[in-house]
Amino acid sequence: MNTGHVLLVDDDVALLRALPEFLRIRMDGLTVDTASSGVVALDRISARDYDAIVSDIRIPGMDGLELLNEIRSQRPDTPTLMITGFADQELVVQALRAGAYDFIEKPIDRDYLLASLRRAMERRFLSRRLKGQQLVVERHLNELEAVVDERARAGRLRFFMGPNGQMQKILEQIEQVADSPLTVLIQGETGTGKELVARAIHELSPRRDKPFVAVDCGAIPDTLIESELFGYEKGAFTGAHQRKEGQFQLARDGTLFLDEIVNLPLPTQSKLLRALQERRVQPLGGKRPSDVAARIIAASNVALEQEVRAGRFRQDVYYRLNEFTITLPPLRERDDILHLANAFLPEAGIELGRPCRKISEAAAQILLSYHWPGNVRELRNVIRRAILLASDVIEPAHLSVIRVNAPASAVAREAAPGDCSLKEIADAAAAQAEEQAIRSVLQLTRGNKSEAARLLRTDYKTLHLKIKQYGIDAGLFRCRTA
């Protein structure tokens, strides 16, 4: 990047003459302003937003650290390079801690200064572009989530579901059932967007201004699930020091979303049936039931009808939930994989501070040919990891984490030099090893997450979060061995 506007601050008159001329010759189109003191520099900085600033660490009127602090205060996004003598190493450390982009030792190595300045200006340019993208994304999300009309409230779902006819049918089902009082059952593999669908139904319904309460039934141990759902009275059990409302009561006139409902124990399913039929719940230790007005939306990552046949889910509860069913197809059966991947690019770039321009054709082919057991959630995580490793364009080497039977060192072997740091390579390899270990133990325990947590010597909640992070469907391990 050659074009731009740079400020050079130094009290060395000879340097103020020679260095700008050198920079203009080597970076055709570059404009260089100069300042011989900190006071003059501050005047120029207040009048112009420079692409980069180069300042001596020792200047008259104020030292470079004071100037750096002022720059960080007035222009926090402007990269600042500090020129320093060999004896100023302690000041260098202070400057870097205070936010200096780089330091240039005297006598100045002009080629190094040129390279560092170019990097700083590119960072400034990308920062501006990223902020622009962030504003666009934020505006887009605000529009999608705004309660303006039905189509605006369904917009976010359209954004993440892509333009194909298959998903348009899902959108039509959502719009059809939203205004009705029917209980909705959403079925689909882990990571297909079941909660997103549930939220869309809520936002399109007359209950949109009421609470939306989501309960992950797979994340709550069996011993706590009843108290979590139905609440309890003070003294109901040891440790119940005060009354606590359950999720049914907290949802009130809104929507209660029961995710992974297949994990509910059979005794709790019996109480759920009573709540669904009578619209009342009995808190633990309570003498009188509480009325419930919340709409129920349930989700399952395995077919409940199959669980009923296997004796793991009550048939009467299934029929009560199955008033209206929406089945989400797995990502491998959809034709909007690249649409979704490109939609995740700016989102992940903003989150990680690593803007990425596009996905190469070769990388796109890998995305299209992969099986996607973790579905949309896995795709989103893969794009986030790839952006962490990529500099500007996502290439096949940045997607090695999703290759079937790829060794844990694949990222380290295939990433191009300079694409990622040693820590990034190690983190990616560790994540892959961790995911494989979880899959192996779930296979051993037939999908029993409590037993898997014990074998992995971690707590249930941590394991559950990891399973969601890696897009692992524990229900598939249960089905394989049933």
Q: Give residue-wise pLDDT tens across range 292-346.
A: 889 999 999 989 998 999 898 999 999 999 999 999 999 888 888 888 898 888 8
What's 282's DSSP letter? -
Here the CATH number for the domain that contains residue 244 is: 3.40.50.300
What pLDDT, on a 0 to 100 scale, did the predictor assign at position 6? 94
pLDDT given for residue 321 in this prediction: 93
Span 28-67, pLDDT tens digits: 889 999 999 989 999 999 999 999 999 988 888 787 788 8
Contact 29, 1 (CB under 8 A): no
Q: Which of 309, 329, 349 is where one domain is finished?
A: 329
Considering the domain architecture, whether residues 108 and 172 belong to the same structural domain is answered as no
Q: Which two tokens stand for residue 313?
A: 């889910």
Q: What is the CATH number of the domain that holds 29?
A: 3.40.50.2300
Number of domains in the chain: 3
In a domain, 144, yes or no: no
Only one residue has tokens 């992969």, namely 370
Residues 236 and 214 in one domain: yes
Residue 470 sits in a domain of what CATH number?
A: 1.10.8.60
pLDDT over 60 at 396, yes or no = yes
User: What is the rounded average pLDDT of the residues 431-437?
Assistant: 85
Q: Answer with the one of 313, 329, 345 that is the final residue of a domain.
A: 329
C-alpha gyration radius of the chain: 29
**82 shares a domain with 9:** yes
Q: Are residues 62 and 98 in the same domain?
A: yes
| Judgement on whether residues 325 and 344 belong to the same structural domain of the protein | no
Partners of 213 in the beta sheet? 256
- Rounded Cα distance between 258 and 353, Å, is 35
> Is the model's pLDDT at 147 over the cut of 70?
no
In a domain, 138, yes or no: no
Residues 472 and 338 in one domain: yes
**407 or 117: whose pLDDT is higher?**
117
| Model confidence at 163: pLDDT above 70 | no
For residue 61, give every residue at least 6 positions away whose Cβ sits within 8 Å of its Cβ, in sequence order, or none: 37, 38, 39
323 and 194 in one domain?
yes
107 and 168 assigned to the same domain: no
Residue 473 per-residue DSSP state:
-
Tokens 């009923």, residue located:
308
Listed range (95-104, 166-175, 263-272, 418-427) with the worst mean pLDDT: 418-427
Task: For residues 226 and 298, state if they share a domain.
Answer: yes
Quote the pTM value.
Answer: 0.54
Of 159 and 384, the structure prediction assigns the larger pLDDT to 384
In a domain, 475, yes or no: yes
- Mean per-residue pLDDT over the chain, rounded: 83
Q: Are 351 and 456 within one domain? A: yes
Domain finish residue from 75, 102, 130: 130
Does residue 137 lie in a domain region? no
Q: For residue 135, is it within any domain?
A: no
Look at residue 4 and give its three-state secondary structure. Answer: strand
What per-residue confidence (pLDDT) applies to 404?
Answer: 41
**Rounded-to-integer distance, Cα 145 and Cα 440, Å:** 39
69-87 mean pLDDT: 85
**Residue 191 CB contacts under 8 Å (≥ 6 apart), including other chains:** 331, 374, 375, 376, 377, 378, 471, 473
Question: How would you label 219-251 residue by residue, b for 16+ Cβ within 10 Å and e otherwise?
Answer: bbeeeebbbbbbbbeeebeeeeeeebebbbbeb
Least confident of 88-92, 190-194, 271-275, 311-315: 88-92
Domain encompassing residue 47 = 4-130
Identify whether residues 358 and 396 lie together within a single domain. yes
> Is 402 within the bounds of a domain?
yes
Residue 448 lies in a domain: yes
Residues 318 and 212 in one domain: yes
